[in-house]
Structure 1
Amino acid sequence: MTSLAPTTTLWRPTGPEELELVRALDWRAWPPRLPEQPIFYPVLNEDYAIRIARDWNVRYDGAGFVTRFEVDTEFVGRYPVRQAGGETILELWVPAEELDEFNAHIVGRIEVVREFR
């Protein structure tokens, strides 16, 4: 009998353009970063993702979405947790050149769990 490897839940606040790219990737991967985006920032809690999607993405993109996805825990452990402000403002910094490998360790699909307009 095989057991499933443990996963870690991550969230990502995103705007409509990035969400369309995720949809085009069949909800299984994040699109490559733009040249001015050297780091991919998934966050460690839904509340932080909500604040960014609602307060930043809506203001600049007209809509904000909170996505949730699972990543192999052993793999994601290579990225230290970064505190980007307050106690609950936690994120991972994945270098853009490692995003393909990161995507290969996503378990299941990326799902939209909240939407703000």
Structure 2
Amino acid sequence: MLETITLYRPVGQKELDLIRASHYRAFPPRLSFQPIFYPVLNEEYAIQIARDWNTKDEASGYVGYVTRFQVRKDFINRYTVETVGGTEHQEYWIPAEDLEEFNQHIEGRIEVIAEFR
């Protein structure tokens, strides 16, 4: 049995629509001005971003969703955990060119666990 880690990703409406189009199996490619994909390590941090940032952002459709998903540990261990701010603000920095491979290591489906407007 493969060992996994639970990660979270705050997303706006457009990104959620693209996740839905993948049948909740993959995150969409980054845009040209988004060189990093950053899944976060805890739900509270994801909620903070979705609630406090996405809901104020026109590009997010003024809505924030929190997604939860499982990634294989043998894959994610290639990357280091980055702390950005307080100790609860931990995330992985996945280069955009690695996102397709990242998606191949998601186990199961991406779940939406919270919504903020």
Report the equivalent of 1:76.
Answer: 76
Q: How does 1:27-106 map to 2 (within 5 A)?
A: 27-60=24-57, 61-106=61-106
- Whether 2:8 is the aligned partner of 1:11: answer yes
Residue ranges of structure 2 left out of the alignment (5+ in a row): none
Report the equivalent of 2:116.
Answer: 116
Distance apart, 1:62 and its partner CA: 1.3
Which amino acid in the other structure matches residue 102 of structure 2?
A: F
Q: Which secondary structure state, in structure 2, belongs to the residue aligned with residue 37 of structure 1?
A: coil
TM-score (norm 1): 0.96
> What is the rounded CA distance, in whole Å, between the counterparts of 1:75 and 1:98 in structure 2?
11
> What is the rounded CA distance, in whole Å, between the counterparts of 1:116 and 1:34 in structure 2?
23
Which amino acid in the other structure matches residue 112 of structure 1?
A: V
State the number of aligned residues: 114
RMSD between aligned alpha carbons?
Answer: 0.5
Residue ranges of structure 1 left out of the alignment (5+ in a row): none
> What is the rounded CA distance, in whole Å, between the counterparts of 2:29 and 2:81 in structure 1?
22
Report the equivalent of 1:21.
Answer: 18
> What is the rounded CA distance, in whole Å, between the counterparts of 2:84 and 2:40 in structure 1?
10
Distance apart, 1:49 and its partner CA: 0.2
Q: Which secondary structure state, in structure 2, belongs to the residue aligned with residue 22 of structure 1?
A: helix
Q: Which secondary structure state, in structure 2, belongs to the residue aligned with residue 74 of structure 1?
A: helix
> What is the rounded CA distance, in whole Å, between the counterparts of 1:87 and 1:81 in structure 2?
11
